[in-house]
Structure 1
Amino acid sequence: MSTQKSELILVTGANGFLGSHIVHQLLEKGYRVRGTARGPKVALSREIFASYGDKFEVVTVNDTAKDDISEIVRGVDAVIHAAAPLPSHYKGGIEELIQAAVEGALNIIRQAEKGGVKRIIYTSSIVAVFNASGTLGPDDWSTVTTEQAVAGGPFPAYIKAKTEAEKAVWKFAEEHPQTDLTVLNPPYLFGPFAPNFKIPKPDFGALSTNLHFLHFLQKEGRWYPSSPGAADVRDVARIHVEALNSPPQSQVGPKRLPIASPYDANWKEAARFVREAYPELVANGRLVDPSTGPDFPFDKLPVDLERVKEVTGVEPSSYQPWKDTVLGAMADVIRFEKQWIAEGYKVEIPALEDYGF
């Protein structure tokens, strides 16, 4: 483990799928980390990273949109704001959803800036970049209107809310030029969980987007992502970490980084990978039939990764291959299911729409 760094980095959502990978990679590089988690997850986060001793601490933040974190940012050298969740079943209208997203993004950043933190890394989403222009780059923005979000259901509403939240973050940075902002725009994330990650009992929300792989344990394979494109969670975490040492905006311009795997993420192929790796589950009739996979018009998002390379130094050739992503995710999902059953829990695979997917 490297011990070259001694900076203290605040990571929101330290117990999440992406956040825990960011924390792990920071600790492995010798950074000190102060993570945030919601109340029930605080003790679990301490357990996951206990081997790092006083290099890791975790504090309670139950609501990123409202909580006072003025003491939490004290002494922090940089903030990685990876926790900006949207409710999967929001009860209010589109304006309330947008406001919740904006405040979830800005509250942490606003208080960090007030506390003297200059480096901010914010996790947005590739949906804020989507448009019909072909190759997606840092100048592209979603064109979903409020009217389309209202009429189109949960996914257009999600796109609109994430887009407006990111625009609010950029506006804040423009009004506070001392803030060195980097925004990352990843797609669906898959892959193994961070080392020592724990889900002690069935908690399908904690599986995050890897919940899709739990559905691979059903032959009928009814639940796949609703749109193409993916990235390995380890790669996206690495880009967050490398962004800490990126040149300032004054040298390289706005650091907006759309991300996607440079490899095809084909779900029929993913099912074949899993069936080859687990013949015993095939024999038991448990694994998904590859023919059930979706036929998307493309399997790889047309994202220009040169900006990521320019800002962070992360080469597209270093990204995890799709097969490694798939098998890493599947191994952990199978491990958790076996663990839960061994401890007496009944595991009933839920419908994905119950979790906002």
Structure 2
Amino acid sequence: MAEKQETILITGASGFLATHVVDYFLRGGYHVRGTVRSAAVAEKVKETFPQYAAQLDLAIIGDVAQPGAFDAVVKDVDGVIHTAAPFQVFGVKDNERDLLKPAIEGTLNILNAVHALAPKVKRVVLTSSFAAMADHSKGRWPGHVYSEQDWNPTPYEAAAAKDAHAAIAYSTAKSLAERAAWDFVKQNNPTFTISTIMPPMIYGPNINATADLAKLNTSSMDIYRLMSPQSKSSDPVPENMFWSFVDVRDVAQAHLSAYQTAEAANQRFFICKGNFTYQQFVNVLRASFPEIRDRVPVGNPDADRIPDDVYTVDTSKSQKVLGLSYRSLEETVCDAARSLLKLEAGKA
């Protein structure tokens, strides 16, 4: 619990992950000032946390990349959790405009605002990504062990190119935004420290009132496509494009722990349970939810092991410094499915 009711600014407070981050800080006794993009979304966020009405305020910021976007909301806060950043790889028309600039400029905007206007802040926690670590040119990178030592090497120019795939631009945006944060600290020597949180694919339950089956976040849709009324048991099981995962609640706990733990200052943290296959996902869904088994692909239930030529991960730092104990794949998938079925029932 918070020693006193500190006020924590949490940007992008309506997001899939950010809603859990807000939840963990509220339950920890903090007052949360969240940012959202519209008044309508603010009302939905309030609906998510009716029991914490006295601890939660919402501010509207339409564009986090606009200079001075955070100037008003950082005043009088004790800490900052910056989760707001574009997460899209579909429908992107301009990599630089839609992905690179918003991620980098949004990060620098929050740091500049804190540096200039929020003297009480001692810790800023930034949501980065495994994308900031991954070297896509290596593919599955047999034998490699990913850790906090890794950086995505793709340069800005390559990601901004008109023929660059949006997925590469997204990954590079995360990497360059994080690098910009570390450069800011080095160049400005601020009175606050930063910690960066780097999760891979984030699965788990939706708890936000903004959740909508028609507009699910990317990772929730990744599971729902395996169990939606439009799928069937004879469908093929998707092939993995990404191999590592983590539960959304563990990522939220990582943000809280990084804020509270002195040893986390100026550190990167790879937040990851381990590797997975979609065959493992459908096996869990079919075993745990017999009522929807006819719409969950069967695939080859015995072929669920992770290939030997896929990289592995080292998350010992997050366990040692942040005290994390990761949820199992089964718990993550089942709780995600339950929340999706609840949403489905509500829309029926």
Q: How many angstroms apart in 1 are the aligned matches of 2:78 and 2:278?
A: 41
Q: 1:18 to 1:201 in 2, by over 3 A?
A: closer
Question: In structure 1, what is the equivalent of residue 26 of structure 2?
Answer: 27
Q: 1:171 to 1:270 in 2, by over 3 A?
A: same
1:81-139 deviation line (CA, Å, top 9, x unaligned):
01111454332254874223211222122212212233110001101111358222222
Q: How many angstroms apart in 2 are the aligned matches of 1:319 and 1:299?
A: 24
**1:29 partner letter:** G
- 1:304 Cα deviation from its structure 2 partner: 2.1
1:263-319 deviation line (CA, Å, top 9, x unaligned):
x4232121011111222222xx322223499986469863322222343232xxx21
TM-score when scaled to structure 2?
0.85
Q: How many angstroms apart in 2 are the aligned matches of 1:70 and 1:148?
A: 32
- Equivalent of residue 275 in structure 1, options 286, 292, 305: 286
Q: Is contact 1:9-1:32 (8 Å) kept?
A: yes
Q: Is contact 1:212-1:223 (8 Å) kept?
A: no
Question: In structure 2, what is the equivalent of residue 125 of structure 1?
Answer: 129
- Equivalent of residue 105 in structure 1, options 93, 104, 107: 107
Deviates more, 1:136-145 or 1:318-327: 136-145
TM-score when scaled to structure 1?
0.83
- 1:24 Cα deviation from its structure 2 partner: 0.7
- 1:214 Cα deviation from its structure 2 partner: 1.4
Q: Is contact 2:45-2:210 (8 Å) kept?
A: no
Q: How does 1:245-284 map to 2 (within 5 A)?
A: 245-247=260-262, 254-262=266-274, 264-282=275-293
Q: How does 1:52-67 map to 2 (within 5 A)?
A: 52-66=52-66
Q: 1:86 to 1:17 in 2, by over 3 A?
A: closer
**2:107 partner letter:** A
Question: In structure 2, what is the equivalent of residue 36 of structure 1?
Answer: 35
Question: Per the alignment, in what secondary structure is the counterpart of residue 231 of structure 1?
Answer: strand
Deviates more, 1:293-302 or 1:147-156: 293-302
Gaps of 5+ in 2: none
Q: How many angstroms apart in 2 are the aligned matches of 1:313 and 1:327?
A: 24
Q: Is contact 1:191-1:234 (8 Å) kept?
A: yes
**2:200 partner letter:** P
Q: Is contact 1:69-1:111 (8 Å) kept?
A: yes
Question: In structure 2, what is the equivalent of residue 180 of structure 1?
Answer: 193
Question: In structure 2, what is the equivalent of residue 313 of structure 1?
Answer: 323
1:216-244 deviation line (CA, Å, top 9, x unaligned):
12122565652111000000100100111
- 1:61 Cα deviation from its structure 2 partner: 1.5
Q: How many angstroms apart in 1 are the aligned matches of 2:258 and 2:94?
A: 35
Q: How many angstroms apart in 1 are the aligned matches of 2:15 and 2:212?
A: 16
Question: In structure 2, what is the equivalent of residue 235 of structure 1?
Answer: 250
Identity in percent: 28
Question: Per the alignment, in what secondary structure is the counterpart of residue 85 of structure 1?
Answer: coil
Q: How many angstroms apart in 1 are the aligned matches of 2:240 and 2:255?
A: 24
Q: How many angstroms apart in 1 are the aligned matches of 2:241 and 2:22?
A: 29
Q: Is contact 2:14-2:210 (8 Å) kept?
A: no
Q: How many angstroms apart in 2 are the aligned matches of 1:230 and 1:299?
A: 17
Q: How many angstroms apart in 2 are the aligned matches of 1:271 and 1:87?
A: 25
Question: In structure 1, what is the equivalent of residue 11 of structure 2?
Answer: 12
Deviates more, 1:331-340 or 1:298-307: 298-307
Deviates more, 1:168-177 or 1:182-191: 168-177
**2:256 partner letter:** V
Q: 1:270 to 1:34 in 2, by over 3 A?
A: same
Q: Is contact 1:85-1:104 (8 Å) kept?
A: no
1:187-239 deviation line (CA, Å, top 9, x unaligned):
01001123xx324754423x441111211121225656521110000001001
Q: How many angstroms apart in 2 are the aligned matches of 1:35 and 1:299?
A: 42
Question: Per the alignment, in what secondary structure is the counterpart of residue 230 of structure 1?
Answer: strand
Gaps of 5+ in 1: 342-357
Q: Is contact 1:22-1:240 (8 Å) kept?
A: yes
**1:246 partner letter:** T
Question: In structure 2, what is the equivalent of residue 352 of structure 1?
Answer: none
Question: Per the alignment, in what secondary structure is the counterpart of residue 326 of structure 1?
Answer: helix
Q: How many angstroms apart in 1 are the aligned matches of 2:72 and 2:157?
A: 40
Q: How many angstroms apart in 1 are the aligned matches of 2:42 and 2:319?
A: 34
**1:76 partner letter:** V
Question: Per the alignment, in what secondary structure is the counterpart of residue 244 of structure 1?
Answer: helix
Q: CA RMSD in A?
A: 2.6
- Equivalent of residue 289 in structure 1, options 290, 298, 313: 298
Q: How many angstroms apart in 1 are the aligned matches of 2:150 and 2:288?
A: 39
**2:278 partner letter:** W
- 1:3 Cα deviation from its structure 2 partner: 6.3
